[in-house]
Amino acid sequence: MAGKTISFLLKSGLKNAMLGHLSKESNFPELAYKTVIDEIIANNYDENSLMLSVAGRDTHSKLVTI
């Protein structure tokens, strides 16, 4: 669902997204990232047009300036 939502928002000019709230038991950052990138590509968007990051579950994430 995150990939579909991000793909939809790319139409309106989305440039940055951070994935968060990853399940400790059934998901990991690399899989979440790849799943979203695959969805973006499947919707004919250039994956390099989006700065996609994954929030850490147990660590600080990078600073995002809005």
pLDDT in tens, 7-66: 999 999 999 999 987 777 777 888 889 999 999 999 999 989 899 998 877 777 777 777
**How far apart, in whole angstroms, are the C-alpha atoms of residue 54 and residue 17?**
8
Are residues 55 and 18 in contact, defined by beta-carbon separation less than 8 angstroms? yes
CA–CA distance, 61 with 63 (Å, rounded to integer): 6
pTM of the model: 0.81
Tell me the residue range of the domain where 20 lies.
Answer: 2-54
Does 12 map to a domain? yes
Residue 53 makes CB contacts below 8 A (sequence gap 6+) with 16, 17, 18, 19, 61, 62
pLDDT for the residue numbered 37: 95
42 within a domain of the structure (yes/no): yes
**Residue 27 maps to a domain:** yes
Into how many domains does the chain fold? 1
What residue type is 8 in one-letter code? F
Q: Name residue 11's amino acid.
A: K
